[in-house]
Structure 1
Amino acid sequence: MRRLSLNQRTTASWSVPEAVDGCVRAGVEAIGLWREPVAEHGLRRTAKLVRDAGLRVSSLCRGGFLTAPGALGDNRRAIDEAAALGTDCLVMVVGGLPPGSKDLAGARTAVADAIAELAPCAGERGVRLALEPMHPVYCADRGVLSTLEQALDLAERFPVSQVGVVVDTFHLWWDPQVWQQIARAGARIASYQVSDWITPLPADVLLGRGMMGDGHIDFAAFTAAVNAAGYTGDIEVEIFNADVWNTPPDQVLTTVKDRYRRLIHTPRESNAQTP
């Protein structure tokens, strides 16, 4: 369980104190926090609560939406929040097309320009901007970076201490180049997030992340690949799913631990070979 982290959205009904307490009871050593519930509880109170509980903050979600008005100011605040919480990983959902726009190339240029503005600020605060490539189904409204290759092409313009990438199984499992790109990422991997791709997808595809083992993803292969690339950080379970959210959170966490043991923390983890 040393590397297991509970992303707060997996147990969405829990407040920050409830999620921290749930992790402690379950023996989970790390938590991925979201800005909105942190703001509700209070940034300084949250930082103290997590610190006093002995937990690591594996990431803060989320910065990004860089194609929207006012994005730079909001992301500078997000960087400060990540630093205050003691995490070096700010997950960046970079944003989709501006309303009414069909200029995909222009949106990607706007994202790159915004990262260039924010990266030095993040580095000064000891925070990395973790670019999250998202499944192409989210390209229009959430993330114009659709592959790990695209995310790395952008990240590599900046020092590794300033900009990294997220390896998220849900978003990347389909990509025939994913193993080569994970190997290429190496020290750029700032976060490894897991959830399953289930079928049929719900009407709201945002809620299509399944519990590991309920879908189609080979988690042992992903874990082997990120380990072989040199990643030794937390493995964060992030699930958006109405059925999971409607299940008692302690029960969800028990299932998360069981699936982590059986599917993700495998013998291949200690002797990883890229698939």
Structure 2
Amino acid sequence: MTANGIAQLSLNQKTLNRYSLPAAVAECVRAGIPAMGLWREPVQQHGVTEAAELVRSNGLRVSSLCRGGFLTTDSPEERAAALRDNRLAIDEAAQLGAPCLVLVVGGLPNGSKDLAGARRRVVDTLAELAPYAERRGVRLALEALHPMYCADRAVLSTLEQALDIADPFPENQVGVVVDTFHVWWDPKLFEQIERAGSRIASFQVCDWLTPLPADVLLGRGMMGDGHIDFPPIREAVRRAGYTGDTEVEIFNDEVWATPADKVVDTMIERYLHLV
């Protein structure tokens, strides 16, 4: 394993979900990983200013901040609260030096079956947030989630849908996330990656396991443990012009219960050989 081989590898904080931010930073330093994808809740618990200093003082860069979004509410009060929280998330990303804020746009409001209306509200709310993000030097990154999450987490289910929403905005305001767990199955994936081009703001990898656990949020596996063929996707992202970090983001109880050094060492080995 060489330093150059992992020069664009990023540890998403969720992969070490049961460890503190300082512990995750220490693992990156130990293993020579140069970047981290951060999550708002543990960053807030540590303190945003303190987190920014911790990362910078250890020579790491922030590849993304997760997450903003949840923009689909049909309640005026909840919409105002969502706007406030997303502006705060943008401020946090700017302070941390994160180039993008990942947006999980939200599912159907309680009791609603109006999918088209929920998607329209994403567009309307994004139009209010995008100029603010540009002023703060942060790009909003729309993440399409697998269709099984459409009702409760993200009414954007394909990269094509995410790009349709992003296209009217300047590229420096709104980009997209290519997350292998969510998009590997899509028959239009490679043409949409090519279409995305410089709108790709983040590239995240993990594997798709079967059978999925009862809590499907925890069905993300270590690369090589599931069904995804990573090299063609990685090559398509590269050909599209993406030169940023590759984040490994895993939600999995077994991974979370494994000692951090073993998780990180396995992650590096699989990244080098499979991604």
TM-score band by shorter chain is over 0.9
Percent identity, aligned pairs only, is 69
Task: Please state if 1:259 is matched with 2:275.
Answer: no
Task: State the distance in 1 between where 2:260 and 2:100 align.
Answer: 25
Match of 1:61 among 58, 66, 69: 66
Task: State the distance in 2 between where 1:88 and 1:27 align.
Answer: 21
CA deviation after TM superposition for structure 1 residue 60, in Å: 0.2
Match of 2:11 in 1: 6
Task: State the distance in 1 between where 2:215 and 2:17 align.
Answer: 17
Report the TM-score, using the length of structure 2 for normalisation: 0.95
Task: State the distance in 1 between where 2:167 and 2:111 align.
Answer: 30
CA deviation after TM superposition for structure 1 residue 88, in Å: 1.3
Pairwise CA RMSD: 0.5
Match of 2:88 in 1: 77
CA deviation after TM superposition for structure 1 residue 13, in Å: 1.1
Task: State the distance in 1 between where 2:113 and 2:233 align.
Answer: 34
Task: State the distance in 2 between where 1:250 and 1:137 align.
Answer: 32
Q: How does 1:161-176 map to 2 (within 5 A)?
A: 161-176=172-187
Match of 1:145 in 2: 156
Task: Please state if 1:193 is matched with 2:204.
Answer: yes
CA deviation after TM superposition for structure 1 residue 97, in Å: 0.4
Task: State the distance in 2 between where 1:67 and 1:242 align.
Answer: 29
Task: State the distance in 2 between where 1:28 and 1:223 align.
Answer: 19
CA deviation after TM superposition for structure 1 residue 208, in Å: 0.5
Task: Please state if 1:25 is matched with 2:30.
Answer: yes
State the SS of the aligned residue for 2:109.
coil
Q: How does 1:14-163 map to 2 (within 5 A)?
A: 14-68=19-73, 69=78, 70-163=81-174
Task: State the distance in 2 between where 1:51 and 1:254 align.
Answer: 23
Task: State the distance in 2 between where 1:94 and 1:146 align.
Answer: 10
Match of 1:208 among 219, 223, 227: 219
Match for 2:28: what amino acid? C
Match for 1:57: what amino acid? V
Match for 2:54: what amino acid? L
CA deviation after TM superposition for structure 1 residue 157, in Å: 1.0
Consecutive unaligned residues of structure 1, counting only runs of 5 or more, are 265-275
CA deviation after TM superposition for structure 1 residue 213, in Å: 0.4
Task: State the distance in 2 between where 1:160 and 1:89 align.
Answer: 12
Task: State the distance in 2 between where 1:170 and 1:87 align.
Answer: 22
Number of residue pairs matched?
264
Task: State the distance in 1 between where 2:121 and 2:208 align.
Answer: 30
The answer as to whether partners of 1:211 and 1:239 remain within 8 angstroms in 2 is yes
Match for 1:146: what amino acid? S
Consecutive unaligned residues of structure 2, counting only runs of 5 or more, are 1-5
Match for 1:96: what amino acid? G
Following TM superposition, where does structure 1 have runs of at least 4 consecutive aligned residues deviating by more than 4 angstroms?
A: none
Task: State the distance in 2 between where 1:67 and 1:227 align.
Answer: 32
**In the TM superposition, what whole-angstrom CA distance separates every residue of 1:165-220 from its partner, at most 9, and x where no partner exists?**
00000000000000000000000000000000010000000000011000110100
CA deviation after TM superposition for structure 1 residue 250, in Å: 1.1
